[in-house]
């Protein structure tokens, strides 16, 4: 097993960008070159604002954006029923539809900017783990009646032809969804930004965000100084998109997210063994709270993810756990080698919705996308860029969730206990 890097990092060396050196001035400084920061810069650039500096502490896509399962589909980490219960049917439907628009936007950007990211437009299956057809009946009906979304029902016999496992009892098929190599996509966005004149800096960890007064030909105006080890950015607006890797940069934001680890592995190339388990090019996840998610890769590997924890594990431990999970579904893959295994930190708000807004002192933020982040991070870029250009109606739609405290160590422990509780419920239900 190769433990030095993830499969994504091993297959996407990407471009490199210089560290920030000296003083730069900009209209907007974005901290964090994950999906949310990249999407914010992209939306600004596509609307004509290119006076932007993007700072990344490590390298583009270093965090959850370059380590996730690569599923691109609608929705948020907060389930749809809870979404509508919070803001009502009309507003909930509108918010969900925004994520479907984000899926279309990601497709557009892949084509428009020529991003080679192994996009596989085979849809996504929600596989029923439980021998109870009502699980799929209720979900299909809710999606249709309340959200205007048609998911195709797949019978147990038909799904067994596509996912050759005795573990499942039919599925729902989301045709509009797809999957891709997330790190290659992130790198493609950064490449498009650089070509358009947006300044991207890697190895440029922000160490301080300080308010200041700027003078110009128009007189004095407020602004910000963002410091790094090698320089500083003086800007009109600052946007923090740091997620699970925010550390101590900005306590007012760090105290509102739970950094949660998830695990992913990739097998060796399976060649003729892959069709013994999976004959579809679609990605798959299941109906448990503690679900597996997996997809076939273009080189015939199987990428498999699952579990969450408040701590990272060694690659060897991740490989062992996920290999056991895979064999519960596909025992015919016994003996397959695991070439890559890795973990990474996602950021969750206690409410499981994206955290988009502006602190009272003027710092903008976009974070809290854990568990279902590819579409919502692209949406966040549109929301934040619109707000930076003075259009606040989009960001106001997320005001209901805000920045509740994570509860510190007690909050992390509560999150782990909650996961174990629902994992036990899954086990008892089956």
Per-residue pLDDT tens digits for 356-376? 999 999 999 999 998 888 999
CA 372 to chain centre: 5
pLDDT given at position 377: 97
From the list 341, 368, 401, the residue with the least C-alpha distance to 259 is 368
Whether the predicted pLDDT of 138 surpasses 90: yes
Helices 80-87, 89-112: inter-axial angle, 10-degree rounding: 130
For the chain, give the percent of residues with pLDDT over 90. Answer: 77
Residue 46, phi then psi, degrees to nearest 5: -70, -20
Q: Mean pLDDT, the chain, as a whole number?
A: 91
With cut-offs at 50, 70 and 90, classify the pLDDT of residue 417: low
Whether the predicted pLDDT of 3 surpasses 50: no
Which spans in 174-329 are helix H?
182-195, 251-254, 274-277, 315-329
For the chain, give the percent of residues with pLDDT over 70. Answer: 90
Does the pTM of the predicted model rise above 0.95?
no
Whether the predicted pLDDT of 59 surpasses 90: yes
Per-residue pLDDT tens digits for 61-105? 999 999 999 999 999 999 999 999 999 999 999 999 999 999 999
Q: Pick 7-429's CATH classification: 3.30.450.40, 3.50.50.60, 3.40.190.150, 3.20.20.70.
A: 3.50.50.60
Per-residue pLDDT tens digits for 170-196? 999 999 999 999 999 999 999 999 999
Whether the predicted pLDDT of 419 surpasses 60: no
From the list 371, 382, 381, 378, the residue with the least C-alpha distance to 349 is 371
Rounded CA gap, 32 and 378, in Å? 14
With cut-offs at 50, 70 and 90, classify the pLDDT of residue 323: very high
From the list 209, 309, 310, 204, the residue with the least C-alpha distance to 251 is 209
Per-residue pLDDT tens digits for 214-251? 666 555 568 999 999 999 999 999 999 998 888 778 88
Run of H or E residues at 136: helix 134-147
């Amino acid at each position: 097993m190769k433990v030095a890097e993830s499969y994504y990092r091993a297959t996407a060396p990407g471009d490199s960008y210089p560290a920030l050196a000296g003083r730069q001035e900009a209209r907007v400084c974005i901290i964090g070159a994950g999906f949310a920061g990249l999407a914010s810069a992209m939306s600004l650039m596509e609307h004509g604002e290119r006076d932007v500096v993007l700072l990344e502490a490590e390298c583009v896509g270093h965090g959850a954006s370059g380590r996730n399962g690569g599923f691109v589909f609608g929705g948020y980490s907060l389930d749809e029923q809870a979404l509508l219960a919070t803001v009502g049917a009309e507003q909930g439907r509108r918010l969900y539809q925004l994520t479907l628009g984000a899926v279309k936007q990601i497709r557009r950007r892949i084509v428009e900017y020529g991003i080679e990211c192994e996009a596989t437009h085979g849809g996504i299956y929600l596989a029923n783990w439980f021998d109870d057809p009502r699980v799929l009946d209720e979900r299909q009906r809710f999606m249709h009646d309340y959200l205007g979304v048609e998911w195709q029902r797949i019978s147990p016999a038909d799904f067994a032809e596509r996912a050759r496992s005795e573990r499942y009892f039919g599925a729902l098929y989301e045709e509009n969804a797809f999957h891709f190599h997330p790190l290659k996509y992130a790198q493609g966005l950064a490449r498009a930004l650089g070509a358009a004149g947006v300044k991207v800096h890697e190895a440029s960890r922000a160490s301080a965000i300080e308010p200041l007064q700027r003078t110009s030909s128009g007189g004095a105006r407020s602004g910000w100084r963002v410091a790094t080890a090698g320089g500083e950015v003086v800007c009109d607006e600052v946007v923090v998109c740091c997620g699970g890797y925010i550390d101590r940069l900005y306590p007012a934001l760090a105290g509102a997210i739970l950094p949660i680890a998830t695990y992913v592995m990739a097998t060796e190339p399976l060649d003729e063994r892959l069709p013994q388990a999976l004959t579809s090019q679609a990605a798959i996840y299941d109906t448990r709270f503690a679900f597996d998610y997996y997809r076939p890769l273009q080189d015939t590997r199987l990428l498999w993810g699952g579990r969450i924890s408040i701590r990272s594990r060694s690659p060897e431990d991740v490989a062992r756990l996920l290999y056991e999970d895979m064999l519960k579904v596909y025992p015919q893959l016994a003996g397959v080698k695991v070439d890559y295994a890795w973990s990474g930190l996602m950021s969750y708000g206690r409410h499981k919705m994206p955290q988009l807004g502006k602190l009272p002192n003027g710092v903008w933020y976009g974070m809290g996308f854990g568990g279902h982040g590819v579409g919502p991070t692209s949406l966040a870029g549109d929301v934040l860029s619109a707000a930076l250009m003075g259009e606040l109606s989009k960001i106001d739609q997320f005001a209901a969730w805000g920045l509740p405290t994570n509860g510190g160590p007690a909050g992390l422990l509560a999150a782990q206990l909650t996961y174990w509780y629902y994992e036990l419920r899954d086990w008892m239900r089956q």
